[in-house]
Structure 1
């Protein structure tokens, strides 16, 4: 095999007798280079979005979330919370209570989700770092304040800077002890809260959520003092979330569902992975089409090198040795294109990372497309390119095996 690679390298570097072969070979290498760069950049852009979304979710979703296996709420007493906090994997614990509500601000109404959170909520997630208007505060003395998602603020046309206009929040009554007449007149409980700020995380959260003190949510829901819909947990630095989920699940038992951050958004993240690898497959198909130039170039090299092949056969070279020469030639051409493609991809990556070459249209939380390189991407692309180069070299290599040891002069 070493002999075949040595001959293939000489064929790669040697000047061809026909200029057309040089041109076609150059086009093939250029096509592989552009295709390789495209594959790397496709994966890098999806990596960038994955990192961005993970950061956004970390500002709203906790490391671990505990919810009831059945029903919407459960009682989280002090003993349960202290047992969780006593685990060495756990850094902080908080509670939340959420429910769909109807919101009204002046003449604007819309539905959304009211999420009541405990005073230490920002110690578990980074919600306070996402406030773009106003300040993050849920209480000031006896006053309750709400933090609205950007989409909810826009839909209700809320003026966070107005200290006099309150946000009305409506929820259906839970109590069944009232008379029929009373329920017909007042089927909803209504409370008012001051808008205190606006957070910007992700479209889904921005358009749906309004944060408020958990005591405010309990009052609207007529809930008990320790009733919650979730226990939210921040883990210690460096702790494996899957190990922590197992430990917490063992402690709480089968009556609760325990999910890490990725499981909380499993459907969305799976969809992103499907989009990522579908895009990669399409780009790989384009590279496969480009490889037909390599087939043509190698075929012409086989025709040009027929006298050399005949001499090698006369000297005792096996057909498989001849085949391996041109298979190696195809792989070397692929590696040359791959090397150029990696350099090209690194240049474009740096331009996008530090200059923002391509911007995101519309009002998004970042101005330029996020991008992130990972070592595994280079491995994946290298395997893909080498495999395509090998397949492209196979027809010419098989053709070279049919060259006889003696060439008859016409």
Structure 2
């Protein structure tokens, strides 16, 4: 019963008539500030969620369920019988042998450094590389002619015309068989760029796909690979497969699942997300000073009411609850308005893309994804800040009330 009357009085104090119009103005400013802050917090989390889902989808198109790396060095030569055994396991849908090496590219005098990734014919079946192609087909060899699929960023930096079938891309790698000063320091071969892909900026500016035998020839490392990229069947236990592969392959290897392959990037993105959240939360804390001012003015405006309440038997704790809950009500109203604003913006952005993203990205507008857990997090944040802002005016209200009663 006590809760009901303190909450009712708090509600009347917030929405009822006051002696000074300035109190209504400051209360409205507090509510609007909290609404804008809550909406901003929710939209920041939603945009980061959108980017996270988008990038995970893009990464899923290029990263496999498991990848086997050499524990030492850059390359290793897998035993053909081990590969045949792995391919025979029912949990293995398919796998691809890949080899990566840093190379110098030259296209009509424009030069740049890239990571050359050689892949075999199984790469298309273990990834969804076709889904991230901007143009062309994922074709790396046509007869004896070597072809290349370039990241959109590095293709732009080299001014590559992928529609010109007569202009080749010169590729240079250090000559591993150089024994004397008369030997060439670099091995050179040519490939013809026939398509571009786009995943995310750093990947697009770094990677160029070629055939596996092409890069093995350039590196003078026949049979060598830097990774075995494995696609599992649905429901397969990746940890058990990891253990079986390590027991089978005699060469020391590292095996990472899809999340582990991109752990550093998503950890960094998560840190950026919560730093941005903290910055906006600080802004909301600054806005809460308006709430403190509004509550102080309501306390001063309602001194006679408080005296009457105490004369009727209300304890100082009840008076404190009235103003504490007044602060909560302001926060609640602001939070509801903020959530409504965020939801409206979310729907507009989701369906109409009202805020475009700069050119060169894989989507035209900022991705956004609203989650229930984010609404809960924002609500808790707003009420914690509101509670801290309400505590001092509510605490002082009981003392002011006692003083007025003595008067």
Same fold (TM over 0.5): yes
65, 68, 76: which one pairs with 1:66?
A: 68
Aligned pairs for 1:327-366 (under 5 A) are: 327-366=324-363
Deviation at 1:245, TM superposition (A): 4.2
Q: Name the CA distance, whole Å, in 2 between partners of 1:110 and 1:408.
A: 82
1:326 alignment counterpart: 323
1:180 alignment counterpart: 180
CA, structure 1 residues 400+229, in 2 after alignment: closer, same or farther (shift >3 Å)? Answer: same
**TM-align CA RMSD:** 2.4
200, 203, 207: which one pairs with 2:201?
A: 203
2:119 alignment counterpart: 117
1:108 alignment counterpart: 110
CA, structure 1 residues 21+216, in 2 after alignment: closer, same or farther (shift >3 Å)? Answer: same
1:224 alignment counterpart: 222
2:3 alignment counterpart: 2
User: Which deviates the most, 78-87 or 209-218?
Assistant: 78-87
User: Which deviates the most, 131-140 or 331-340?
Assistant: 131-140
2:40 alignment counterpart: 38
Q: 5+ residue gaps in structure 1? A: none
Q: Name the CA distance, whole Å, in 2 between partners of 1:386 and 1:261.
A: 38
Matched position secondary structure for 2:149: strand
2:172 alignment counterpart: 170
Q: Normalising by structure 2, report the TM-score.
A: 0.91
CA contact (8 A) 1:103 1:112 kept: yes
238, 244, 258: which one pairs with 1:244?
A: 238
1:268 alignment counterpart: 265
CA contact (8 A) 2:118 2:214 kept: yes
302, 306, 312: which one pairs with 1:305?
A: 302
1:128 alignment counterpart: 130
Q: Name the CA distance, whole Å, in 2 between partners of 1:82 and 1:301.
A: 79
CA contact (8 A) 1:29 1:337 kept: yes
Deviation at 1:197, TM superposition (A): 1.4
2:397 alignment counterpart: 400
Q: Name the CA distance, whole Å, in 2 between partners of 1:18 and 1:304.
A: 8
Deviation at 1:329, TM superposition (A): 1.4
Instruction: Say whether 1:96 aligns with 2:116.
Output: no
Matched position secondary structure for 1:169: strand
Q: Name the CA distance, whole Å, in 2 between partners of 1:155 and 1:336.
A: 52
1:314 alignment counterpart: 311
1:81 alignment counterpart: 83
Q: Name the CA distance, whole Å, in 2 between partners of 1:22 and 1:157.
A: 62
Matched position secondary structure for 1:61: coil
CA, structure 1 residues 294+378, in 2 after alignment: closer, same or farther (shift >3 Å)? Answer: same
CA, structure 1 residues 290+127, in 2 after alignment: closer, same or farther (shift >3 Å)? Answer: same
Deviation at 1:110, TM superposition (A): 2.6
Q: Name the CA distance, whole Å, in 1 between partners of 2:244 and 2:183.
A: 47
CA, structure 1 residues 147+277, in 2 after alignment: closer, same or farther (shift >3 Å)? Answer: same
Matched position secondary structure for 1:308: helix
Q: Any runs of at least 4 consecutive aligned residues in structure 1 with deviations exceeding 6 A, and if so which? A: none
Q: Name the CA distance, whole Å, in 1 between partners of 2:403 and 2:100.
A: 85
CA, structure 1 residues 405+126, in 2 after alignment: closer, same or farther (shift >3 Å)? Answer: same
